[in-house]
């Protein structure tokens, strides 16, 4: 057996550490010792080698790793790295040599990258047994940390990746699962790993985490067993033999026995014979002293843990292990004192793991989804019956349930819109002879189907359809407008009639429609184009492009908190991040004033630093004499009057509503934020640096910050709108915003045989829309112009309807080659690409693409200044109610056309 010890001692000069090392060496017969962080000068390495009784000592380049080994081992340094020491070790008792790497890793992820690269290079050239051990300063998984903040996922992934790349296996351990502590959290930072060749050479490698004594790290004891065969033991003379009364007689009798040979040969033979005799005599007289020593050590250990006997007896009698609070028992946290969020992390993690497992395994194409809702619900129910978690834990569980319901909506969307083997199977099994949206769950239905039905109503409310082949439910699917026809025709509740039943020769059967619908509804349906060559398309209303997304579904069902408008002010880019974070904590009442600390159970005397009142948030920020002078100084400048505010929100809100031009980033929203921040800085200076509280210093700090922001061009001219005289009083020079250079362009004529159509749409604030356009030939002569009132539409619909009207007129004029020019770049991109657009224009897009198929066309964009003729006609459409088409330009329009004919340059200023 070969024994080794790796220990981060955090300073070897202490007597406790030295006594512990000496005791461990004698007890476990340590052949190799790796000391990490000795924290003494390298010149003392030889002193500690002699004191600890080792043959050789090696120190790496960073002097953080000291390696000692006995005479039985021979070492060769292969690589000396600042974070590791790589050596080759040989022994006369081993058939071949092996490699060992002793690690003391850096504390940061970036610095550990050099260590990981070094280990990968070493692994590439190693084909023999290899052991790596030491302080890696990183854990491998979350379970290796107790308490403290959440571990860094990227650092753990780096560590796991290098172990996988190097083919290194975790050797496991016996003892305490955590090797390091700072009395606030526990982690397994120290470990031993080895490759497959090591297992072949040492079938049994035992790693023990010994008790922490003198250091915050556990010593790692490594015991390597080669095989059951024992090597011949060496002869050692024991002083205890001399004290035995029969020793001299036994030696004299053995030495006087005759032997062949003479001189030194006879002396050597007698000496060898005497050694063998004394080994036998030792066992016959003294017995197996090592077994007796181990028995004595066990008795000593039992004596050392006498105080734990009662705990052991109780544990054996009850079957419960002894643990320290807080612990988790039957999934419920047991604790003493205040409830902490970290105690309930296991509950949330358990739900997250279940959901993650279902996403990866069960929520796959094919739909084999089982036990989703029942298992998810059963996880926390028994816990909530016996304890009351903090509100934030319940909110996290609710948010997980909302995400879960969003995936249910996705399943229903796929069931209704995709034609696949799974959807056909589900329809045949659960919806035969009935409408899917009216199906009721039955006792023996699958959990998947029941879950889908719970979210079907919400999903159907936000589904819209575009008619293609007409395989939609006429009354129950929302294929026209924003509500299904059944909403105004309740007598057809159970009807399963499809839209295609009202087709006749690729057009609508108007007469049949009139038998079940009113005339105005029939007129709207007749405007819908029919394209039986394409499939029916589903649109998801919450997204701009009509495609379903789980994110939008979650946004629909999640519970939103009321947004505090003040947060728009504190996170503005002009406010320094340090100030923003402080104000965020201030608005959440998370500032450690003394009254707040007393409410948490901390016993202290609360007193303000500038008066005799108790220290509360409102007192520090408003009520104390220093704060009142600061607020009065700035309130007088900005002519603001605030009377007895109760909260910080009221103070900031009063400043926001004090001017006509206030918005996030305006000086009137910045000044109160800076005042609050520097009042807190002044309070801290008075408490921790004994500098006192002075209003003039707070005012000076606020003004200095404003001047610095102005010099750094973080405060622009618009942020002083309405208060420029104050900027002048403070000596701040307002710099105008830099303007982009103007763009010069002109209207271009089409080529010979080609016609150019300019169109534009206009939507007023009252949603009253109009459109207009003009068609010109290659000489710039007008062919026709039009102006139309479009009713209530948004700006996108107005642009598309204006283009639609222009294309219809071009078709009527038998135009074949067409150049379409608009100032709406979004419309051009929508039509040039294969985009569906939002659901409100689904039929208009189909009609436009059908019309465009009649022309050889191209699109181009022009700024509004160059599209002034079409813009003029669109604005004129607001003045009448009907479509007006004309072929002769008059008045102002005539002048615009002449300017375009001459390629008059237009200038656009941004």
Collapsing DSSP states into helix, strand and coil, what is residue 356? helix
For the stretch 183-217, pLDDT in tens is 889 999 999 999 988 988 888 899 999 988 889 99
801 in any annotated domain:
yes
Same-domain pairing of 39 and 130:
yes
- Tokens 């208060």 belong to 723
Query: Which residues lie below 8 Å from residue 545, measured CB to CB, with a gap of 6+?
Result: 835, 836, 837, 838
550 in any annotated domain:
no
Token readout for 577 is 């991040």
Strand partners, 761: 771
The CATH number of the domain where 92 resides is what?
A: 3.60.10.10
d(CA 58, CA 77): 9
Q: Are 834 and 792 in contact (CB under 8 A)?
A: no
Give the CA dihedral 656, 657, 660, 661, nearest 10 degrees: 20
Strand partners, 4: 32, 222
307 in any annotated domain:
no
Q: Is the dihedral of CA 727, 728, 731, 736 positive or negative?
A: positive
d(CA 754, CA 729): 64
Q: Is 189 exposed, middle or buried (0-12, 13-18, 19+ CB in 10 A)?
A: buried
Confidence of residue 764 (pLDDT cuts 50, 70, 90): confident
Q: In the listed set 174, 196, 225, which residue is the last one of a domain according to the structure?
A: 225
Q: In the listed set 462, 496, 526, which residue is the last one of a domain according to the structure?
A: 462
- Reply yes or no on whether the pLDDT at 453 is more than 60: yes
Average pLDDT over every residue of 156-182: 90
Same-domain pairing of 695 and 796:
no
Q: Is 94 exposed, middle or buried (0-12, 13-18, 19+ CB in 10 A)?
A: middle
Strand order in the sheet with 768-776: 856-861, 817-822, 755-763, 768-776, 782-792, 884-886
310 in any annotated domain:
no
To 10 degrees, what angle do helices 447-454 and 391-417 make? 100
Q: Is 179 exposed, middle or buried (0-12, 13-18, 19+ CB in 10 A)?
A: buried
Q: Is the dihedral of CA 815, 818, 824, 828 positive or negative?
A: positive
390 in any annotated domain:
yes
The CATH number of the domain where 877 resides is what?
A: 3.30.420.10
Least confident among 382-396, 541-555, 561-575 = 382-396
For the stretch 788-837, pLDDT in tens is 999 989 999 999 999 999 999 999 999 999 999 999 999 999 998 878 88
More confident residue, 494 or 218: 218
Token readout for 782 is 């007008």
Same-domain pairing of 789 and 896:
yes
Query: Which residues lie below 8 Å from residue 439, measured CB to CB, with a gap of 6+?
Result: 430, 431, 453
- What is the chain's Cα-based Rg? 43
Q: Are 699 and 633 in contact (CB under 8 A)?
A: yes
Same-domain pairing of 37 and 140:
yes
284 in any annotated domain:
no
For the stretch 288-311, pLDDT in tens is 777 777 788 777 776 666 555 667
Confidence of residue 366 (pLDDT cuts 50, 70, 90): very low
Query: Which residues lie below 8 Å from residue 328, measured CB to CB, with a gap of 6+?
Result: 334, 346
- Tokens 């007088």 belong to 636
- Reply yes or no on whether the pLDDT at 320 is more than 90: no
Same-domain pairing of 458 and 476:
no
For the stretch 393-452, pLDDT in tens is 656 665 655 566 778 889 999 999 999 999 999 999 999 888 998 999 888 888 788 888
Same-domain pairing of 59 and 185:
yes
**pLDDT at position 584:** 92
To 10 degrees, what angle do helices 109-124 and 153-166 make? 10
Q: What is the DSSP string of 765-798?
A: TTSEEEEEEEEE-TTS-EEEEEEEEEEE--HHHH
Same-domain pairing of 713 and 849:
no
Token readout for 839 is 């659901």
- Strand 817-822 vs strand 856-861: parallel, antiparallel, or unpaired? parallel
Q: Are 758 and 748 in contact (CB under 8 A)?
A: no
Same-domain pairing of 478 and 594:
no
Give the CA dihedral 359, 364, 368, 374, nearest 10 degrees: 20
Confidence of residue 706 (pLDDT cuts 50, 70, 90): very high
Query: What share of the chain in percent tops pLDDT 70?
Result: 89
Same-domain pairing of 453 and 503:
no
**pLDDT at position 360:** 45
**pLDDT at position 333:** 73
For the stretch 331-363, pLDDT in tens is 667 767 766 767 667 766 766 665 555 444 444
State the pTM of this model: 0.52
The separation between CA 815 and the C-alpha centre of its own chain, rounded to angstroms, equals: 57
Q: Are 466 and 536 in contact (CB under 8 A)?
A: yes
Q: Hey, what long-range contacts does 240-244 have (CB within 8 A, 24 or more apart)?
A: 240/286, 241/278, 241/281, 241/282, 244/285
Token readout for 43 is 């010149």
**pLDDT at position 4:** 94
d(CA 719, CA 837): 37
For the stretch 733-762, pLDDT in tens is 886 666 778 889 899 999 999 999 999 999
Domains in the chain, number: 5
For the stretch 38-54, pLDDT in tens is 989 998 999 999 888 88
Q: Where are the beta strands (DSSP E) in 60-188?
A: 65-69, 74-81, 84-90, 98-104, 130-135, 145-146, 169-170, 174-175, 180-181, 186-187
Per-residue CA distances from 830 to 41, 771, 826, 842, 849 (Å): 74, 18, 6, 12, 11
Mean predicted lDDT score pLDDT of the chain: 86
Same-domain pairing of 29 and 167:
yes
d(CA 4, CA 31): 6
Token readout for 639 is 């002519």
**pLDDT at position 149:** 86
More confident residue, 149 or 351: 149
**pLDDT at position 396:** 61
Q: Where are the beta strands (DSSP E) in 339-471?
A: 463-466
Same-domain pairing of 512 and 614:
no
Q: In the listed set 699, 729, 759, which residue is the last one of a domain according to the structure?
A: 729
- Tokens 């081993």 belong to 94
Spatial CA neighbour of 498 closest among 453, 539, 468, 534: 468
Residue 330 structural domain: 322-462
d(CA 465, CA 846): 13
Collapsing DSSP states into helix, strand and coil, what is residue 298? helix
- Strand 190-194 vs strand 169-170: parallel, antiparallel, or unpaired? antiparallel
**pLDDT at position 227:** 57
311 in any annotated domain:
no
Token readout for 850 is 């059908």
Q: Where are the beta strands (DSSP E) in 613-704?
A: none
Count the residues in the chain: 910
Same-domain pairing of 525 and 405:
no
CB atoms within 10 A of CB 831: 20
Strand partners, 677: none
303 in any annotated domain:
no
**pLDDT at position 368:** 35
């Amino acid at each position: 057996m070969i024994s080794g010890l790796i220990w981060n001692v955090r300073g070897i000069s202490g007597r406790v550490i030295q006594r512990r090392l000496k005791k461990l060496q004698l007890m476990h017969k340590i052949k190799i010792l790796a000391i990490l962080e000795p924290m003494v000068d390298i010149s003392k390495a030889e002193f500690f080698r002699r004191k600890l009784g080792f043959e050789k000592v090696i120190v790496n380049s960073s002097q953080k790793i000291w390696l000692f080994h006995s005479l039985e081992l021979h070492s060769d340094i292969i690589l000396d790295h600042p974070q590791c020491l790589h050596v080759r070790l040989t022994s006369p008792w081993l058939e071949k040599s092996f490699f060992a790497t002793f690690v003391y890793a850096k504390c940061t992820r970036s610095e550990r990258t050099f260590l990981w690269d070094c280990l990968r290079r070493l692994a590439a050239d190693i084909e023999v047994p290899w052991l790596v051990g030491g302080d890696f300063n990183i854990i491998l998984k979350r379970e290796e940390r107790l308490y403290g903040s959440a571990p860094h996922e990227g650092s753990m992934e780096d560590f796991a990746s290098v172990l996988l790349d190097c083919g290194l296996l975790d050797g496991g351990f016996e003892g305490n699962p955590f090797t390091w502590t700072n009395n606030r959290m526990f982690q397994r930072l120290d470990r031993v790993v080895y490759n497959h060749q090591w297992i072949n050479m040492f079938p049994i490698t035992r790693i023990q985490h010994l008790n922490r004594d003198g250091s915050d790290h556990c010593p790692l004891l490594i015991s390597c067993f080669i095989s059951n065969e024992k090597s011949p033991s060496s002869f050692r003379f024991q002083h205890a033999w001399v004290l035995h009364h029969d020793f001299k007689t036994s030696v004299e009798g053995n030495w006087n026995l005759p032997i062949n040979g003479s001189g030194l040969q006879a002396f050597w033979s007698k000496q060898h014979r005497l050694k063998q005799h004394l080994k036998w005599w030792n066992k016959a007289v003294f017995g197996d002293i090592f077994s007796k020593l181990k028995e004595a050590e066990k008795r000593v250990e039992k004596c050392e843990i006498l105080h734990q006997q009662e705990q052991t007896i109780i544990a054996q009698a009850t079957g419960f292990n002894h643990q320290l609070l807080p612990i988790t028992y039957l999934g419920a946290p047991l604790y003493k004192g205040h409830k902490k969020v970290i105690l309930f992390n296991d509950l949330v993690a358990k739900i997250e793991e279940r959901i993650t497992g279902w996403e990866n395994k069960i929520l796959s194409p094919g739909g084999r989804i089982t036990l989703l809702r029942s298992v998810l619900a059963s996880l926390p129910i028994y816990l909530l019956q016996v304890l009351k978690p903090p509100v934030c834990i319940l909110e996290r569980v609710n948010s997980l349930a909302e995400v879960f319901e969003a995936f249910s909506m996705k399943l229903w969307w796929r069931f209704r819109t995709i034609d696949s083997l799974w959807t056909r199977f589900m329809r045949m099994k659960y919806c035969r002879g009935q409408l899917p949206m009216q199906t009721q769950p039955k006792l023996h239905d699958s959990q998947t189907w029941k879950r889908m039905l719970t979210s079907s109503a919400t999903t159907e409310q936000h589904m819209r359809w575009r008619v293609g082949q007409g395989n939609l439910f006429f009354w129950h699917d929302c294929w026209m407008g924003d509500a299904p026809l059944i909403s105004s025709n309740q007598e057809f509740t159970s009807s399963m009639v499809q839209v295609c039943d009202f087709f006749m020769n690729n057009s609508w059967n108007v007469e049949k429609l009139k038998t079940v619908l009113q005339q105005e509804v029939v007129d709207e349906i007749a405007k819908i184009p029919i394209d039986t060559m394409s499939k029916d398309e589903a649109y998801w209303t919450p997204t701009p492009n009509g495609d379903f997304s789980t994110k939008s579904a979650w946004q629909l069902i999640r519970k939103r908190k009321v947004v505090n408008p003040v947060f728009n002010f504190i996170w503005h880019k002009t406010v320094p991040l340090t100030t923003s974070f402080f104000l965020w904590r201030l608005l959440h009442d998370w500032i450690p004033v003394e009254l707040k600390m007393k409410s948490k159970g901390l016993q202290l005397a609360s007193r303000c630093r500038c008066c005799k009142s108790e220290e509360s948030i409102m007192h520090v920020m408003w009520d104390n004499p220093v704060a009142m002078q600061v607020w009065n100084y700035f309130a007088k400048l900005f002519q603001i009057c605030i009377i007895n505010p109760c909260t910080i929100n009221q103070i900031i809100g009063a400043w926001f509503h004090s001017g006509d031009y206030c918005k996030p980033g305006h000086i009137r929203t910045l000044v109160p934020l800076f005042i609050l921040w520097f009042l807190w800085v002044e309070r801290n200076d008075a408490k921790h640096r004994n500098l006192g509280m002075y209003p003039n210093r707070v005012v000076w700090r606020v003004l200095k910050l404003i001047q610095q922001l102005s010099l750094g061009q973080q405060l622009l001219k618009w942020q002083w709108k309405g208060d420029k005289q104050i900027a002048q009083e403070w000596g701040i020079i307002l710099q105008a915003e830099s303007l982009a250079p103007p763009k010069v362009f002109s209207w271009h004529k089409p080529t010979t045989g080609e016609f150019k159509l300019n169109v534009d749409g206009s939507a007023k604030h009252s949603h009253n829309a109009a459109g207009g356009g003009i068609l010109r030939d290659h000489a710039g002569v007008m062919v026709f112009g039009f102006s139309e009132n479009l009713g209530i539409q948004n700006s996108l619909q107005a642009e598309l309807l204006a283009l639609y009207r222009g294309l219809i007129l071009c078709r009527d004029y038998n135009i074949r080659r067409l150049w379409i020019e608009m100032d709406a770049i979004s419309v051009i991109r929508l039509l040039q690409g294969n985009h569906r657009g939002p659901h409100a224009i689904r039929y208009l897009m189909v009609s436009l693409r059908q019309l465009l198929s009649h022309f050889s066309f191209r699109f181009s964009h022009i700024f509004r200044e160059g599209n002034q003729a079409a813009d003029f006609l669109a604005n004129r459409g607001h003045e009448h109610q009907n479509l007006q088409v004309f072929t002769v330009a008059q008045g102002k329009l005539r002048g615009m056309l002449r300017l375009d004919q001459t390629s008059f340059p237009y200038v656009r200023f941004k």
